[in-house]
């Protein structure tokens, strides 16, 4: 039997649906995957065998570029961070958490700001300021209003070709609504914001990759909050592109931009070249990582 190479496009109830040359093969994982502690993910490139479209077996999961936990997807190229300007209110802290996580995974971020037309001018965060700040760092920022949502979606879809894209962002920011507008065929369940909790209800289940605009888009919006369970403190400064640029002039090679003397990052924060909010969030994330309880894995009996 010939070995085939394809990509997992959907995982459901123990079956893995592998795409190859216009056909989708229903496969199961070999029992030794569990023994080897391997969990195939949507987005994985795999070697499989099959005599027909419904009775295949996964033989090998090929090395991944990266993987996400929520949603469980591998080999992600692009992360669209959907942030609302109001209801829920915009959060620099949460946006920076998403950006740091994507940088750490080697995923290109695109920032998509929703509900910009609902601002009444009294909000502490102005759209133009947020857009300018992140574009200065080098991140694409797309602003969507009700009147210009089609234009914003067109702008966003330019990033999709040849990429595997995942959506993430605040609960209640409109991730599922946005995905439905991009592809009405998806018919994603959109959650109503729970007013008592102020959080969006979870409305998503398994993950499937949908071909869109010559690329693939995960039909399941990702996490709405992030903690840094996997990252080491020494890696955190490397996830802030403007810190990396400035750190070339720091006195110490492994400068953590905290208490060290002659730190270029702190100097640029004082001068206003690096945004104060970014630096404050960096210090908060650093404290979270350093105060994190160690994770002890149980020994196997």
- Report whether 262 belongs to an annotated binding site: no
- Is residue 29 within a helix (H) or strand (E), and if so which, with residue range? strand 23-29
- Report whether 77 belongs to an annotated binding site: no
Interval 72-123: pLDDT, tens: 999 999 999 999 888 888 899 999 999 999 999 999 999 999 888 877 766 6
Burial class (CB in 10 A: 0-12, 13-18, 19+), 153: middle
Which of these, 3, 6, 68, lies nearest to 39 by C-alpha position?
Answer: 68
User: Which alpha helices (H) appear in 207-271, and where do they start and end?
Assistant: 241-246, 264-271
Burial class (CB in 10 A: 0-12, 13-18, 19+), 261: exposed
- Report whether 104 belongs to an annotated binding site: no
Query: For domain 233-290, is the CATH number 3.30.2140.20?
Result: no
- Report whether 174 belongs to an annotated binding site: yes
- Report whether 276 belongs to an annotated binding site: no
Predicted pLDDT of residue 27: 94
Residue with tokens 């991730």: 175
- Report whether 190 belongs to an annotated binding site: no
- Report whether 84 belongs to an annotated binding site: no
Predicted pLDDT of residue 296: 57
- Report whether 138 belongs to an annotated binding site: no
Q: Name the CATH topology of 4-63.
A: OB fold (Dihydrolipoamide Acetyltransferase, E2P) (2.40.50)
Q: Is the pLDDT of residue 183 over 70?
A: yes
Q: Is the pLDDT of residue 249 over 90?
A: yes
Give domain limits for the chain.
4-63, 73-218, 233-290
8 token code pair:
């997992």
What is the rounded average pLDDT for all residues in the chain? Answer: 86
Contacts (Cβ under 8 Å, ≥6 apart) of 32:
none
Q: Is the pLDDT of residue 290 over 80?
A: yes
Q: Which pLDDT band, with edges at 50, 70 and 90, does 205 fall under?
A: low
In angstroms, how far is CA 56 from the centroid of its own chain?
31
- Report whether 121 belongs to an annotated binding site: no
Q: Name the CATH topology of 73-218.
A: Rossmann fold (3.40.50)
Q: Is the pLDDT of residue 230 over 90?
A: no
Q: Higher confidence at residue 32 or residue 157?
A: 157
- Report whether 170 belongs to an annotated binding site: yes
Q: Is the pLDDT of residue 266 over 50?
A: yes
Per DSSP, the residues of 74-120 read ES--EEEEEEESTTTTP-HHHHHHHHHHHHHHT-EEEEEEE-GGG--
Which of these, 95, 77, 23, lies nearest to 53 by C-alpha position?
Answer: 23
- Report whether 116 belongs to an annotated binding site: yes
pLDDT mean over 165-177: 84
- Report whether 115 belongs to an annotated binding site: yes
- Report whether 263 belongs to an annotated binding site: yes
């Amino acid at each position: 039997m010939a070995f085939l190479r394809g990509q997992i496009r959907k995982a459901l109830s123990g079956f893995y649906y592998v795409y190859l040359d216009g056909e989708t093969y229903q496969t199961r994982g070999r029992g030794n995957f569990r023994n080897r502690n391997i969990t195939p993910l949507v987005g994985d490139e795999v070697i499989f065998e099959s005599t027909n479209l419904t009775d295949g077996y996964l033989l090998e999961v090929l090395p991944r570029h990266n993987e996400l936990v929520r949603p469980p997807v591998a080999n992600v190229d692009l992360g669209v961070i959907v942030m609302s300007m109001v209801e829920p209110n915009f959060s620099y802290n949460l946006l920076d958490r998403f950006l740091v996580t994507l940088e750490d995974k080697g995923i290109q971020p695109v920032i998509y700001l929703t509900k910009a037309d609902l601002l009444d001018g009294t909000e502490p965060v102005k759209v133009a300021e947020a857009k300018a700040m992140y574009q200065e760092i080098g991140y694409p920022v797309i602003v969507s209003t009700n009147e210009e949502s089609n234009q914003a979606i067109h702008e966003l879809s330019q990033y999709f070709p040849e990429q595997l894209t995942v959506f993430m962002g605040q609960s209640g920011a409109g991730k599922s609504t946005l995905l439905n507008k991009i592809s009405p065929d998806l018919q994603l369940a959109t959650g109503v914001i729970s007013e008592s909790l102020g959080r969006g209800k979870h409305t998503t289940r398994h993950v499937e990759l949908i071909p869109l605009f010559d690329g693939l888009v995960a039909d399941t919006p990702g996490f709405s909050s992030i903690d840094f369970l996997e990252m080491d403190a020494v890696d955190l400064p490397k996830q802030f592109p403007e810190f990396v640029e400035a750190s070339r002039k720091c006195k110490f090679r492994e400068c953590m931009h905290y208490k060290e003397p002659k730190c270029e990052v702190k100097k640029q924060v004082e001068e206003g070249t690096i945004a104060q909010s970014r630096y404050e969030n960096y210090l908060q994330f650093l404290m979270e990582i350093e105060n994190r309880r160690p994770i002890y894995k149980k020994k196997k009996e």
